[in-house]
Structure 1
Amino acid sequence: MHDFLPYLPMLGGAVGLVCLVGAFFAGRRRRLVENLSTSKTTGVFIGLVELKGTAECARPLTSYLAEQPCVWYQWSVDEHWSRTVTETYTDHEGKTRTRTRHESGWTTVADGGESTPFYLQDDCGVILIRPEGAKIEPLAMFDRTCGPADPLYYGKGPAHAVRDSDHRRRFAEYGIPEHASLYVMGQARERQDIVAAEIARDPDAPMFLISTRSEEQIGSGMKWGERAWVFSGWVLFVGSVVGRDAAAGIPLETRLPLYAGATAAYLAAAVLAWIWMVFNSLVDLRHRVRRAWSLVEIELKRRHDLIPNLVQAVRGCRDHERTVQSELAALRGQLRATPPGVEGPDYHAVRDAVLAVAERYPELKADANFAALQKSLIETEERIALARGYFNDIATHYNTRLEQVPERYVAWLGAMKPQPLMEADAFERAPVSIGAWSHGSSDPAPSGK
């Protein structure tokens, strides 16, 4: 034992640092939850988003045990068993002896579950959620223990019994009931059927969580987990030194400066880990702001390529050329629009100008080329509205982080600057309604756009 004592501080220090690394990753996940701004369903486009709302489904599932309407559920039936075991062993004197012991436990005899795509609804609209692959934090919907006299015992459980059964079964079910309040964090992507976003599993996303707990409850649980990692690391880091001295018979009061130095070293490492975590989270947020703007730029470039063709189509109405000059000016002006923070004309929607021309001149509305261009423009500006809302949400959160203390000092070290927002309120996204679909279909069909 005494040969091992010199190595005890090194072992405790190594394990303590491992705990500090665990606290770093736990803190990063907590900051992701606490610092990602909550988006409205109408402001979601592409990227990692946080949403709050209620679970809605036109044709919900019916849970197996509670028989409640829900969008996700899992159930299990466990059966209790017990037995007395007699065993032979050899004692410390080399004599053969026998002893008996009692064993008991639960064995799962049946289980199952089901899920379906559903809509998350907030005060602005709805967004489609595909729960496959998500970490689910459900509600307890059913919990009951009974014997064979209860109709539930065989009605929802199997006919056979496990070995050494006590004929006692526990029925449990967890799920997400319809209309339940949810917190969702996941990767948003564009739907294939309409111009709208959906939340689905993405292997590159840092988190895909669907929880019936509030954001405050989730963050609080992660915070206590992070603190537990830090405290455990400190106990191991300093305690290993104290344990070595105590085992060696060294008076502990004479070693207080050493213990204080070990504590200071551990705290310094914790502070450096915190600065590293904050800086990396700000850098990641800045990258997401840039990616969000690149999504806006893609749609703006698409619209930029459409506008000259629309101008040419409108100018074809030569008999009315003088009466469409304002609409043509609005279209041409958007060819010179500049990004936020850059001097020049701001971006604004031109769909109203195009619709006004179409209503004024029926021959244009009947023109197949103009109709196709008009449809492409409207869909593109709907995508711009989605991308703009997401960009402004992320940029606003990024700007807020740069102003908060003490993070503003870390941002100053990284020379990070606020991001101007895209002030273009004329862009509108298409409304999305909760639609009905069969449980076996892969895509829900919206009842309207």
Structure 2
Amino acid sequence: MATLILVFLGLVFCGVGGALLYFSRTTQAKAALIGAVATSGAGTVASRPGELVEIKGTLRCQSPLTSELSQSACAYYSAAMTREYEEQERDSDGGWRTVERSQTMASNSRGVPFWVEDATGSVWVRPDGAEVDAWPVLDRFDQSAAGPGINVSLGGVAINFGSGDGRTLGYRYRESILPLDQPVYVLGVVQSNGVVGPPQPGRKDQRFIISYRSEEALTQSFSSSAQWLTYGAIGAFALGAVLILIGLAVRLF
């Protein structure tokens, strides 16, 4: 039985390592793609349908949104509310221990078309389907949990405070936005109507990325994430191999 458990756990860790390695390569590919595409003037790309383009400029929006949590004017926002709580569970010795967990109560994201403006002109961007790297404007933990029966709404979802398992420690509110009249980076495909948007389905060599960061900062972020994912994959593979070898050794001896 011990052999089967150890070998099973080893295979699980090897599977985790494979998943981490996949995400590492995917993330590194994003960094490489950003570096490979030359920057174009915003006013020059609308007449190049089907082409993957990179534009940098100032975000302008005719009909901005107001974000739900921070009430910020923006072209895009992503908001989430998480309940953090603790509960009792049995440990391997049969005793009880307290563990902290979190539960996403509600989340919502919205975006509206905007245009990117630079010295050459401007081009419209429709953010639907984009991988958005938005600017964090809110990360607040509220320990003063409201009482049972009190409701709030996020993204049209009613949230009942005081519900759920365990003892509530508090609620964490997070929100990120694409702010107005600020620098923005866009990597996307020019659509038939001249708007920048997502690639055609199946085009794995193209991406649609919108970020509040500069090209250099975004590339560095992707490269750093890929490196840490690779380290995690190596660690998971190593631990998996050790567990499998120990399991086989237990069976032999």
The two structures have a TM-score, normalised by structure 1, of: 0.41
Aligned to 1:210: 210
Q: Please show how residues 65-104 of structure 1 align to structure 2 within 5 Å.
A: 65-86=69-90, 98-104=94-100
Aligned to 2:6: none
Structure 1 Cα separation of the partners of residues 230 and 165 of structure 2: 45
Q: Please show how residues 125-136 of structure 1 align to structure 2 within 5 Å.
A: 125-136=121-132
Question: Which has more strand, going by share of residues?
Answer: 2
Residue 190 of structure 1, aligned match among 189, 192, 215? 192
Aligned to 1:148: 145
Question: Which has more helix, going by share of residues?
Answer: 1
Aligned to 2:175: 173
- Name the aligned partner's letter for residue 67 of structure 1: Q
Shift of 1:148: 3.4
Structure 2 Cα separation of the partners of residues 127 and 112 of structure 1: 27
The CA RMSD measured in Å over matched residues stands at 3.7
Specify whether residues 24 and 168 from structure 1 end up closer, same or farther in structure 2 by C-alpha distance, changes over 3 A only: closer
Contact 1:56 1:179 in 2 (8 A): yes
Specify whether residues 117 and 101 from structure 1 end up closer, same or farther in structure 2 by C-alpha distance, changes over 3 A only: same
Identical-pair percentage:
23
Specify whether residues 80 and 219 from structure 1 end up closer, same or farther in structure 2 by C-alpha distance, changes over 3 A only: closer
Shift of 1:52: 0.5
SS in 1 for 2:38: coil
Aligned to 2:8: none
Shift of 1:228: 6.0
SS in 2 for 1:67: coil
The alignment covers a number of residue pairs equal to 210
Could you give the per-residue CA deviations for residues 59-92 of structure 1, whole angstroms, max 9, x where no partner exists?
10110001111111111111121122357x7x7x
Aligned to 1:201: 198
Specify whether residues 231 and 110 from structure 1 end up closer, same or farther in structure 2 by C-alpha distance, changes over 3 A only: closer
Higher relative contact order (CA 8 A, sep 6+): 2
2:44 matches 1:43: yes
Aligned to 2:61: 57
Structure 1 Cα separation of the partners of residues 160 and 235 of structure 2: 52
Specify whether residues 66 and 30 from structure 1 end up closer, same or farther in structure 2 by C-alpha distance, changes over 3 A only: same
Q: Quick check: which has more Rg, 1 or 2? A: 1
Could you give the per-residue CA deviations for residues 349-384 of structure 1, whole angstroms, max 9, x where no partner exists?
xxxxxxxxxxxxxxxxxxxxxxxxxxxxxxxxxxxx
Specify whether residues 137 and 24 from structure 1 end up closer, same or farther in structure 2 by C-alpha distance, changes over 3 A only: closer
Stretches of structure 1 that go unaligned for 5 or more consecutive residues are: 2-11, 92-97, 192-196, 244-449
Contact 1:55 1:118 in 2 (8 A): yes
Could you give the per-residue CA deviations for residues 205-240 of structure 1, whole angstroms, max 9, x where no partner exists?
52110011111112223444566688899999xx9x
Q: Please show how residues 348-387 of structure 1 align to structure 2 within 5 Å.
A: none
Shift of 1:122: 1.4
Could you give the per-residue CA deviations for residues 258-310 of structure 1, whole angstroms, max 9, x where no partner exists?
xxxxxxxxxxxxxxxxxxxxxxxxxxxxxxxxxxxxxxxxxxxxxxxxxxxxx
Structure 2 Cα separation of the partners of residues 167 and 231 of structure 1: 33
